[in-house]
Chains A and B, each alone.
Chain A
Amino acid sequence: MSFIEFKNVCKMYPGSKVNTVDNFNLNIEEKEFIAFVGPSGCGKSTTLRMMAGFEEITGGELYIDGKKVNDVAPRDRGIAMVFQNYALYPHMTVEKNIGYGLKNMKMPAEEIKKKVDWAIHILGLEEYRYRKPKNLSGGQRQRVALGRAIVKNQKLFLMDEPLSNLDAKLRVSMRTEISKLHRELGATTVYVTHDQVEAMTMADRIVIMKDGIVQQVGKPMELYDHPVNQFVAGFIGSPQMNFFDVDVNGNNVRFADGSNITLSAATAEKLKGHQGMMTLGIRGEDIKVIGPDRKADADTENVLTAVITDTEVMGNENNLYFSFGGCQAVARVSKYEIAQIGDRISFTFVPSKLHFFDKDTGINFMEME
């Protein structure tokens, strides 16, 4: 049995006619770091709150460490949680905030001090020990919230968008700190975020949700390289995957502007005979730019051309925006490949990285079993 098991878990709020979380099934293994990711209102925080016991489970069963917890009070579920708005006790010092739970557990004062000292040390909060939350910065407050969670030695950590109130730079450093803490403590961690970069960089596995339904569960690179549908393909990756409306006829792919490419035998076989209008997806880094006004030396029949409409210099790479086949697209190129707005570029698509999505359902034909 897995450490956490969701069996057809549903959540319907009173007065609503649709499930906010619909038929959620998931197994989470011990010591795993799993991220729930999705747009606002997708049900990720609701799912986390059902795990914590703050939201009633209206259908299905939830097991934590082999025990059904549907009707178990939050305090008896063996969890620690870090909240989006920190939820620190404003009238208590850092030290008291961290030790409050231990005090309520009736732990001897000496042991509390030892554990609080340990948490304060590993979170670098020594000089803030006697400060109250109002005198701390956002990053320091979040570290106190982490400290409060880690001292209790719980087997399961729940984190509800813990970094969303921090600035970009602090978010990156806190990401590293949380990952490090997870490795050191070995507690199972469920992390909710709307930021796919956080999910990709921290999680062992990612659960992508939309409208209360799980879209795909997998390792970060599985989701990146093998999205099961257009939503996952578009949600994971920055800049997001390029999508073009195409008409597939045998091995021939015709774009809206009349351009054509020919599919390799391997790609055509993966399409399993799907034909007609569909959406082609390709990531920016899988568009190979050949150069301004230059035709490719080989594979000339699959070379396409477009005019650059915008550029983004990222430092380590450049993003080249262009209009093609009636859609706006972006190619990620190395920092040495410089192009100007108005340049005409030639490019090819990496054949093995093409995705074809059903126009209506968004299913990725290339990932169908």
Chain B
Amino acid sequence: MFTKKQRRINWILVAVLLVLSIFFLFPVIWMLANSFKPDAAITSDMNTIAAFIPPAPGNGFFDNYISIITDTNFLRYMGNTLFYAAVLIILSIVVNGLAGYALAKIKFPFRDQWLMVIIMLLIVPTETVITIHFLIIAKAGLLNTIVGYILPLIVNPFNIFLFRQVFVSLPDDVYEAAQLDFCGPVKYFFTMVLPMSKTVVATVSVFTFLNVWNDYLWPSLVFTSSDLLTAQIGLNSITSNENTTMGQTLAVITLVTIPVIIIYSLFSKQIVEGVTSTGSKEG
């Protein structure tokens, strides 16, 4: 039970957070409202409260969206990105999960030192290794291919660390019981370890999706063919085109934001649990 004083503090905190969330939300509301308007209306509403109010649904309400979908390849770029994200989620779970499992449960020489190296890799910014990735992919002749795009993104030290921290608390006797139930180590990983660690699997999936969806630098280096481009590059090429209207720009930004909002609102609980449960706990 809260005391009277604590309750008052809680109310003040809620009020402050509400004000802050309005500050964060207002550009989003503005974008959403204006994405349904023609450029003339956007300009005329600019300095009034009407800038935050969408027009009444009617003729031409979805014009900006329809023109983006019909006149550009943006839907294809979104489809490409969803495909890359799906492939990378699966590969991330398998590869980083297996690495995390080995570091958590299999005894091998210098295991703890390996873990230290992986933890140290967490502080290396992506930008510092991207040139090396590019050179390797170029030398391998994989530029402008899906494999060349995906390959360097599979192994992620942060994901390995997340998996390791969750797997280390899995009870050993479940593995022993599974062995007596004729379950081999690979089957154990896929049918026991991953289902028992749904939270971290969800967390890694969401993080991988967000990384792929929001990544601009790496796909812009690897891809030149317009058939393979991702949503972020598509967004850039559409918005930087001088024929694109303000309304269309806002519509395409809205489109690119929707999947992120959906994913985050569906899995926010798992993300918080996944990150906070990375401390060892008795299972």
Which A residues contact B (CB, under 8 angstroms)? 52, 54, 73-75, 79-81, 83-85, 87-91, 100-101, 104-105, 148, 152
Contact = CB atoms under 8 A, between A and B. Distances in A.
Interface stretch (B141-149, B174-182, B210-218): B174-182
B192 A89 contact: yes
Given A87-B171, A89-B192, A90-B196, A104 B176 contact: no
In the A-B complex, the 7 residue pairs with the closest CB atoms? A101-B181, A104-B182, A87-B173, A87-B177, A91-B195, A83-B173, A74-B179
A48 to B, nearest CB: 11
26 contacts: A52-B176, A74-B176, A74-B180, A75-B179, A75-B180, A79-B180, A83-B173, A84-B173, A85-B171, A87-B171, A87-B174, A88-B177, A89-B174, A89-B178, A89-B192, A89-B196, A90-B196, A91-B192, A91-B195, A91-B198, A100-B178, A100-B183, A101-B180, A101-B181, A104-B181, A152-B181
A168 B180 CA distance: 29
In terms of DSSP, what is the predominant structure of the interface of chain B?
Answer: helix
A79 B182 CA distance: 11
Given A90-B196, A91-B195, A81 B180 contact: yes
B179 A83 contact: no
A91 B187 CA distance: 15
Contacts of B183: 100, 104
Interface of B: 171, 173-174, 176-183, 187, 192, 195-196, 198
Contact of B182 (A54, A75, A89, A90): A75
A104 B184 CA distance: 10
B165 to A, nearest CB: 18
B181 A100 contact: yes
Given A85-B171, A87-B171, A87-B174, A52 B180 contact: yes
Contacts of A84: 173
Instruction: Name the residue among A75, A80, A88 with the largest chain B CB count within 10 angstroms.
Output: A75
Contacts of B192: 89, 91
A83 B177 contact: yes
A256 B267 CA distance: 75
A89 B170 CA distance: 11
A100 B198 CA distance: 20
A81 B176 contact: yes
B176 A54 contact: yes
A105 B182 contact: yes
Contacts of A54: 176
Given A85-B171, A87-B171, A80 B196 contact: no
Contacts of A89: 174, 177-178, 192, 196
Contacts of A83: 173, 176-177
A85 B176 CA distance: 12
A89 B178 CA distance: 9
Contacts of B181: 100-101, 104, 148, 152
Contacts of B196: 89-91
